[in-house]
Chain A
Amino acid sequence: DGGITQSPKYLFRKEGQNVTLSCEQNLNHDAMYWYRQDPGQGLRLIYYSQIVNDFQKGDIAEGYSVSREKKESFPLTVTSAQKNPTAFYLCASRPPGPSNQPQHFGDGTRLSIL
């Protein structure tokens, strides 16, 4: 079945450590997104990519980095510069065509600090 796969489901980070969250999709979607979800807040956009080898910062990009070397993959690295990384991270993609089509989400990665 086509879909978005995020891994791992749970991740723990030590002080000063960079960690990478995986997002893979087999939907043939060009646009991909990374969001952060905190309790009591709406999803906030970290980075997005409309096409391979191109990406843009979202509202809260500081302390994060991404790459888009393949259409299917959009990994997110949480760097040691992100001082409050504990959150639920969601990856999404959007079908080709008009930009006001709904985004579809993976099942998330929960990141915690050790």
Chain B
Amino acid sequence: EDQVTQSPEALRLQEGESSSLNCSYTVSGLRGLFWYRQDPGKGPEFLFTLYSAGEEKEKERLKATLTKKESFLHITAPKPEDSATYLCAVQARNNDMRFGAGTRLTVKP
């Protein structure tokens, strides 16, 4: 069965303290892995798509990487405005999409 597990569930960082969020997956034929940011009371906002192992994408302080079993979202020198829940989703060969439960990130000034 296709599964997505995100860790940690919650992460508290000081401003400027870099860290990584993990998304582990098992899926029948990966067609794409997606990262989203979700603010409280809002819908998820698209960040990145990764399609194959070894691929990397960057946007401002965020960098997403992909292996055959997991993806990491690296946050470099985070700021308080980076506080949000980050969601990972994988799309299988049959086009089914599975979402992880998310990592709730808090960045303290």
Question: Which residues of A does B touch, CB under 8 Å?
Answer: 4, 6, 35, 40-45, 90, 92, 99-108, 110
CB distance from B12 to the nearest CB of A (A): 18
Q: When the two chains form their complex, are residues A42 and B101 in contact, meaning their CB atoms are under 8 A apart?
A: yes
B 41-66 binary contact with A (CB < 8 Å = 1; else 0): 11111100101000000000000000
Q: When the two chains form their complex, are residues A102 and B43 in contact, meaning their CB atoms are under 8 A apart?
A: no
Name which of B13-21, B68-76, B91-99 contacts chain A. B91-99
Question: Which residues of B does A touch, CB under 8 Å?
Answer: 4, 9, 31-32, 34, 36, 41-46, 49, 51, 87, 89, 91, 95, 97-102
A90 vs B89: C-alpha distance when bound (angstroms): 15
Task: Jot down 30 A-B pairs with beta carbons below 8 A, ordered by A.
Answer: A4-B43, A35-B99, A41-B101, A42-B87, A42-B99, A42-B101, A42-B102, A43-B44, A43-B87, A43-B89, A43-B99, A45-B97, A92-B43, A99-B31, A100-B31, A100-B49, A100-B51, A100-B95, A101-B49, A102-B46, A102-B49, A104-B46, A105-B36, A105-B44, A105-B45, A106-B43, A107-B43, A108-B42, A108-B43, A110-B41
CB distance from B70 to the nearest CB of A (A): 16
The secondary-structure label for the interface of chain A is: loop
Q: When the two chains form their complex, are residues A100 and B42 in contact, meaning their CB atoms are under 8 A apart?
A: no
CB distance from A40 to the nearest CB of B (A): 6
A-B contact sample (7 more), CB < 8 A, given A43-B99, A105-B44: A40-B9, A42-B4, A43-B44, A43-B89, A105-B43, A107-B42, A108-B41
